[in-house]
A = this chain, B = another copy of it.
């Protein structure tokens, strides 16, 4: 299988980190977790995960579909949505509810439910464990008597890099 990790990134600000490391860590973790859990990270699922990890931006399902078609001729919406369902179930990606899009999860295996900081300028999504926030949330649920199944905490704005480069106004 061709490695997709090197594909064009095209960030509005320079990628200051070693993204290949992000990708390889994410894929290694995913492979490991799937073995441990006795679930199959099939070629399709692996390719979709790799495509998602092409960047830290949230990606749309149909973008993924377009991008997987050259690799997987005859791919259909169900091809992508099934892979996405699997990856979400396994906590390997986040669904960004407020964008109808998807982004890799850096901490699969550990805590999956995190604060997502979504930059309107560069579209990158930063995950933060935000333990104080989570603790305050737990207290709130206790007060309300609410039994939590899942959390979506999505913040839109301007990330620190874009604010530095382009100012706060966009």
Chain A residues in contact with chain B, CB under 8 A?
A: 97-98, 115, 117, 119-120, 126, 128, 130, 132-133, 135-137, 139-141, 144-160, 163, 168
Contacts and interface: CB of A to CB of B under 8 A. Distances in A.
A147 B163 contact: yes
23 contacts: A117-B141, A117-B144, A117-B146, A119-B146, A128-B144, A133-B133, A133-B137, A141-B155, A144-B159, A145-B163, A146-B157, A146-B159, A146-B160, A147-B158, A148-B155, A148-B156, A148-B157, A149-B157, A150-B156, A151-B156, A152-B152, A152-B154, A153-B154
Contact of A132 (B117, B126, B136): B136
Contact of A149 (B120, B130, B145): B120
A132 B128 CA distance: 18
Given A117-B144, A133-B137, A146-B158, 20 more contacts: A115-B137, A117-B146, A119-B146, A126-B146, A132-B140, A136-B136, A137-B155, A141-B157, A144-B159, A144-B160, A145-B160, A146-B159, A147-B163, A148-B157, A149-B157, A151-B154, A151-B155, A151-B156, A152-B153, A152-B154
Nearest to A151: B155
A126 B54 CA distance: 38
A149 B154 contact: no
B140 A146 contact: no
Nearest to A120: B149
Nearest to A159: B146
